[in-house]
Structure 1
Amino acid sequence: MNQVLLTPGAVCLADWRAIYRGAALSLDPACSAKVAASAAAIARILAKGEPVYGINTGFGKLASVRIEDEDLATLQRNIVLSHAAGTGEPSPVPVIRLMMALKLASLAQGASGVRPETLGLLEAMLAKGLTPVVPCQGSVGASGDLAPLSHMAATMIGVGEIFVGEARLPAAEALAQAGLAPLELGPKEGLALLNGTQFSTANALAGLFEAELLFRSALVTGALSTEAAKGSDTPFDPRIHALRRHRGQIEVADALRALMAGSAIRASHVENDARVQDPYCLRCQPQVMGAALDVLRQAATTLEIEANGVSDNPLIFPEADEALSGGNFHAEPVAFAADMIAMAVCEIGSIAERRLAMLIDPALSGLPAFLTPRPGLNSGFMIPQVTAAALVSENKQRAYPASVDSIPTSANQEDHVSMAAHGARRLIAMAENATAVLGIELLASVQGMEFHKPLASSAPLEAARDLLRGQVPALEDDRHFHPDMEAANALIRSGALAAMADGLLPGVS
């Protein structure tokens, strides 16, 4: 992949996506002057001898405790070690690499008081493939993602563990093997590293990027299901959607119409179909998927702003030698964005499952029961639909908003929190559930189209059918279903299915 040049404060979503997908990165050297000025300001602020939160005081409820100059280095080391209190399974490596890049871009804006060498170590760890082992649980999304970011910061001082490829090594050993020395933290640096929203934001961005792929794939499977059921394309007429004016709805209708254009299957029933209207799962795709698209775009806007912001505390203003305490670490915007993505992912899977249920019901689809040529002897798609129903139900439970909850922490000093971290962390698992639902729908819709041969569909939908049939043959009699499902899921995860309609489908960002 091409290398991303990280320009702090001006990184586009495409670059964050590329980093998540594995692209290398380098920090724009133009930011070095601001970083150096911020670090120098810390020295001048300390020289004043006044108490400044996070630099020469305790933290949280202990902010009134003054720390002497000889203990400042110990103070920063202590906050990293004491706050590295996460639990649970290690977070996925792509998410933590993205988190590190987000933290690097934030610190490099010269408002955090860290030294250039601190940024240099973080950049070198990314370049050399050293990914801290960060437990996935323990953040409430304010005062920043303290526990997860502390686990990252701990590895920078030689404590904890680091993934190097498939190996999981003690941090000091991994740094040494890479020719890197552990960091001696300066004033404010420990706090700057562990304070901020980068863990929540990385997980939310990862969820957004997976949802983008899911959305585009669902438009293809939805069009395939419409073809399999010999549904009408009249509900996709642009005049209908122009009257409602929602951008996403208009674009989805355009995409579905383009996906089905030129289909002989569609043309075959225009004049002689007795059905007046299709079920909502076919007819209302523009309304449901368009609303999901609009919500995902709103979340994308929020996350792009957050990814380019500075969210630690206090913030340093070198021109005035001031350290101002505020609340940029509160991840409420990220929590709301994550909740929106969760709802969109849930609905994408929910309407797909309804299309699947419609296809296996001969009373609704006009196709053989459970899409098997010999129902009774064979169960066909009976149980895959049950699996899809289970996954959709699970996603419904997970879609409950995380942002509406708050449990006070730090002896009520931090009395309202966002819960953004787990609100964002659930998104990849939800997207994986929805991917499996779409995989089953892909299998079912292409199977349904078998019964319309020799009629062909449109060029893009025939390409999608050929893509699947290159991996999975038509279902004549019952066979081990799981491998077919895994093959279909892989086509969705890889982007291969959505790519069959490149240029026809709207983008999230």
Structure 2
Amino acid sequence: MAVLTLEGHGLTIAKMKSFLTEEDSTVEISEAAYENVRGSRKIVEDIIEHEKTIYGITTGFGLFSDVRISKDRTQDLQVNLIRSHSCGVGAPFAENTVLSMMVLRLNTLLKGHSGVTVGLVDQLKTFINARIIPKVPEQGSLGASGDLAPLSHLAIALIGEGEVYYGGELRDSKDVLEALDIEPLTLQAKEGLALINGTQPMTAQGLINYIEAEKLMADSVWIASLTHQALNGITDAFNEKVHTSRGYPEQVEVAGALRDYLEGSKLTTRQGEVRVQDGYSLRCIPQVHGASLQTLAYVKDKLEIEMNAANDNPLVFSEDEVISGGNFHGQPIAIAMDLLKIGTAEIANISERRIERLVNPSLNGDLPAFLSPEEGLQSGAMILQYAAASLVSENKTLAHPASVDSIPSSANQEDHVSMGTIGSRHARDIINNMRNVLATELFIALTAVEIKGVDRLSPKTREKFDTYREIVEFIDHDRNFSKDIKILSDALRMIN
């Protein structure tokens, strides 16, 4: 059983990936982090005791920041905040995404700048370890002032309201807590605000996006290698000298991976043997895939900063330094997600162009038109290309940058917002489309190389062929191909 120790710093994508994928994983809180929590909480309690005017502790929120709240109403203020802000709509975030939200929010609170109680961080820890997953609608956040609506749905479950997923069922939070003998959290001053001022929904979805995109970008190279062999592609374009002469490390990396996958193939050609040059979707795989890989490096850097960031407001530094700022603004993650959208959409774009080359009799050499087993009578892979074209066209609309949009809120007090959660959700949708396009390319390429002769494949791609041929059949008759694409898409999500 894996244990992830949270300290308010040092959290990485690799650690989160292990936590999410290893069975029965749990979180623990370091003693130093507990001390951070106790220290910042004492400062908040002193502020309340001396009735100082501090935003969100002894004042209202947003436009109501100038309204003083009496000492005896500070708890009511926090509960009212959570209830009123629980107004998200639409389908719920996936359970793994919400689990990640809780881990990331807990890590932020442990930095000691949020002024929460030990009881709150322990409640989050209990929910995480018991896999009590709040139902969090994915629509309704502007991505500034924090992801207010989504995080409110997370927070309301901690106090025994709202709904949660537990044991595979959607149930009232109150009923689950009673069944497990867990006391609902009683929010203290500042705690409601501390739970919802943050970027965890966009960051958690971004984390899942990154993990899935990283795997798919790696898969896209060997899938392209199968297609390259099915089309008797020219290997000269992958010569190391070509790519080092340009200088992009990711381009060099992809070209090296292609040479490795194609080593020993009897299906590839040299320039001039069959043709002098390949089309760009074959010849420029290192340049295009490499450029998309560049986006992953940027996204990883921004995610790991945000996963360990203090993005609350106000931030507690000392009794004399409780500062209102804007660390809840999601612009860094919004831009990163928009960049990831472009990078992943382009992998799908070039994959669809390779699909066209596999099925088009004007481009696929001596392969049958549309890989039809009986041309005219059977359509073969004809409409598979249509479906892939539809997905990449949809991606082009989803890839429109969310981060360049903004709309004022809270009576113009919050007059610029990031739309980062929209960007993160759209990146997820593009990645899902990308997976289906790659699954389609793989499905068609498996049949194409089988027509050409599996024994002529390179050793490394032959291994891939054998793995995936076990789960889908050769296109030897027209059938419901959506089932085959679903099988391969699911496999690309799971098989390493």
What letter matches 2:362 in structure 1? Answer: A
Give 1:58 shift: 0.4
What letter matches 2:476 in structure 1? Answer: E
Give 1:48 shift: 3.1
Preserved contact between residue 45 and residue 321 of structure 1 (Cα < 8 Å)? no
1:435 match? 435
TM-score by length of 2: 0.97
Is the alpha carbon distance of 1:136 and 1:271 closer, same or farther for their aligned partners in structure 2, counting shifts above 3 Å? Answer: closer
Q: Distance in 1 between matches of 2:106 and 2:271?
A: 61
Q: Distance in 1 between matches of 2:183 and 2:147?
A: 25
Q: Distance in 2 between matches of 1:70 and 1:306?
A: 35
Is the alpha carbon distance of 1:456 and 1:3 closer, same or farther for their aligned partners in structure 2, counting shifts above 3 Å? Answer: farther
Q: Distance in 2 between matches of 1:321 and 1:38?
A: 12
TM-score by length of 1: 0.94
Is 1:199 matched with 2:201? yes
> Alignment partner of 2:374: what SS?
coil
Q: Distance in 2 between matches of 1:383 and 1:29?
A: 59
What letter matches 1:355 in structure 2? Answer: R
2:141 match? 139
Is 1:15 matched with 2:12? no
Map 1:193-232 onto structure 2 (within 5 A): 193-232=195-234
Is 1:299 matched with 2:299? yes
What letter matches 1:72 in structure 2? Answer: T
2:328 match? 329
2:170 match? 168
User: After TM superposition, what 4+ stretches of structure 1 lie above 6 angstroms from structure 2?
Assistant: none
Is 1:29 matched with 2:31? yes
Residue of structure 2 aligned with 1:257, choices 259, 278, 282:
259
> Alignment partner of 2:207: what SS?
helix
> Alignment partner of 2:452: what SS?
coil
1:506 match? none
Preserved contact between residue 44 and residue 321 of structure 1 (Cα < 8 Å)? no
Is 1:363 matched with 2:362? yes
Is the alpha carbon distance of 1:362 and 1:79 closer, same or farther for their aligned partners in structure 2, counting shifts above 3 Å? Answer: same
Residue of structure 1 aligned with 2:74, choices 56, 59, 72:
72
Q: Distance in 2 between matches of 1:305 and 1:189?
A: 23
- Cα shift readout 1:384-430 (whole Å, capped 9, x = no counterpart): 11110111111111010000000000000000000001110122222
- Cα shift readout 1:370-393 (whole Å, capped 9, x = no counterpart): 112432122110011111011111
Q: Distance in 1 between matches of 2:491 and 2:234?
A: 27
1:391 match? 391
Q: Distance in 2 between matches of 1:353 and 1:324?
A: 51
Give 1:242 shift: 0.8
Preserved contact between residue 102 and residue 202 of structure 1 (Cα < 8 Å)? yes
Give 1:29 shift: 3.0
What letter matches 2:201 in structure 1? Answer: F
Give 1:321 shift: 4.0
> Alignment partner of 1:162: what SS?
strand
Q: Unaligned stretches of 5+ in structure 1?
A: 500-509
2:351 match? 352
> Alignment partner of 1:126: what SS?
helix
Preserved contact between residue 2 and residue 19 of structure 2 (Cα < 8 Å)? no
Give 1:453 shift: 1.7
- Cα shift readout 1:24-57 (whole Å, capped 9, x = no counterpart): 3222233111110010011122233221101000
Percent identity over the alignment is 40
- Cα shift readout 1:357-381 (whole Å, capped 9, x = no counterpart): 0111122120211112432122110
1:413 match? 413
Q: Distance in 2 between matches of 1:178 and 1:303?
A: 34
1:502 match? none
Preserved contact between residue 114 and residue 194 of structure 2 (Cα < 8 Å)? yes
Preserved contact between residue 8 and residue 31 of structure 1 (Cα < 8 Å)? yes
Q: Distance in 2 between matches of 1:206 and 1:234?
A: 37
1:504 match? none
- Cα shift readout 1:431-459 (whole Å, capped 9, x = no counterpart): 11111111110011111112222642111
Is the alpha carbon distance of 1:386 and 1:55 closer, same or farther for their aligned partners in structure 2, counting shifts above 3 Å? Answer: same
> Alignment partner of 1:136: what SS?
strand
Q: Distance in 2 between matches of 1:264 and 1:173?
A: 64
Q: Distance in 2 between matches of 1:260 and 1:30?
A: 52
> Alignment partner of 2:322: what SS?
strand
Q: Unaligned stretches of 5+ in structure 2?
A: none
1:187 match? 189
Preserved contact between residue 21 and residue 94 of structure 1 (Cα < 8 Å)? no
What letter matches 1:345 in structure 2? Answer: T
> Alignment partner of 2:28: what SS?
strand
Give 1:322 shift: 2.3
Give 1:460 shift: 1.4
Q: Distance in 2 between matches of 1:454 and 1:98?
A: 43
Residue of structure 2 aligned with 1:152, choices 151, 154, 172:
154
Preserved contact between residue 439 and residue 488 of structure 1 (Cα < 8 Å)? yes
